Amino acid sequence: MNSNLPIGVFDSGVGGLTVAKEIMSQLPDETICYFGDTARVPYGNKSQETVIKYSRQIASFLLDQKVKAIVIACNTASAFALETLQREVSVPVIGVVKPGARSAAEVSKNGRIGVIGTEGTVRSGLYGTYIRELRPEVQVFGQACPLFVPLAEEGLCNDEVTMLMARRYLAPLLEQGVDTIVLGCTHYPLLRGVVGHVAGPNVTLVNPAFETAKDLKELLTSRGMCAESGRTPEHRFYVSDGAEQFRAFANSILPCEMIETDAVTVKVFA
């Protein structure tokens, strides 16, 4: 296998760029081949069956692009489709939920952990399952925050409206005395300022994007799959709809050198 082949990263839309950004920062030699399913976003309120079907189609597209590994940079798809893809796909597949869960299990002191995410991620209870595999005594409290994604996509990351919603969403978790909150949706790192402000200094925020990039690095290293060092990777971005809108959002969150990168609209589904 050519170790300079790209890493496939996919998400329901633009949110997974926060994961791509962490990979670029922690693994600067690796090329990213990103797919955002902008035609079918959001996944958070879709059924497991539908999310698995979409994830299969995207994995197949990424394999056509000759990726050496796949990162599911979407919490809902990680929760619903990781095991299916790991079983069916010929390259290593990692999701964002397990790394986030491991980190939360490590950092919580009082064993009370909050998980915020989409309806689908929270309903799946998968963060809790993984966290309790590592620390069975931990109590996990889930809270869906359905308005956080549209607020982030509207650029209202530091807005009073977002602050108001954050106070409402986080209140039940803070009442439970959590000392750790998992940002269980790829958009949420963009709202980290507001969430951190509302949660206060005694609560640690866990960013699964950061942990996932760390896991990816470990995986590539242990299997001797790291790209040659010192290369200048040419990242590629594909979306299922609206390349222009995607570009604008990507430019607002990726490091500056990405600004010039073109996004291409492709159809992964019939």
> Which of residues 15 and 100 has its CB atom nearest to a second copy in the complex?
15
Tokens of 98: 């397990």
- d(CA 253, CA 246) in angstroms, rounded, equals 11
60 in contact with a second copy (CB under 8 A): no
Closer residue to a second copy, CB minimum distance, 81 or 105: 81
- Cα torsion 143, 146, 148, 149 to 10°: value is 130
CA triple 132-140-150, angle to 5 deg: 125
Residue 83 to residue 223: CA distance in whole angstroms: 20
Q: Does 56 bind a second copy (CB under 8 A)?
A: no
134 touching a second copy, by CB under 8 A: no
Q: Does 193 bind a second copy (CB under 8 A)?
A: no
Active site residue 74: yes
Residue 131 or 156: the one with the smaller Cβ distance to a second copy is 156
Please pick, from the candidates 28, 150, 172, 177, the single residue that binds a second copy as defined by CB under 8 A. 150
Q: Residue 106, interface with a second copy (CB under 8 A)? A: no
Binding flag, residue 231, a second copy (CB under 8 A): no
Q: List the structure tokens of 35.
A: 């797919």
> Residue 225's closest CA among 30, 24, 26, 8?
30
Q: Which amino acid is at 39?
A: A
The single residue among 12, 22, 30, 40 that binds a second copy, judged by CB under 8 A, is 40
189 lies in the binding site for a second copy (CB under 8 A): no
- What does the DSSP 8-state code read for residue 4? T
> Are 11 and 22 within 8 A, CB to CB?
no
Q: Is 44 in the site for a second copy (CB under 8 A)?
A: no
The answer to whether residue 226 is catalytic is no
* Cβ–Cβ < 8 Å for 179, 114: no
Residue ranges that bind a second copy, judged by CB under 8 A: 39-40, 45-47, 50, 146-147, 150-151, 153-154, 160-161, 164-165, 241-242, 245, 265, 269-270
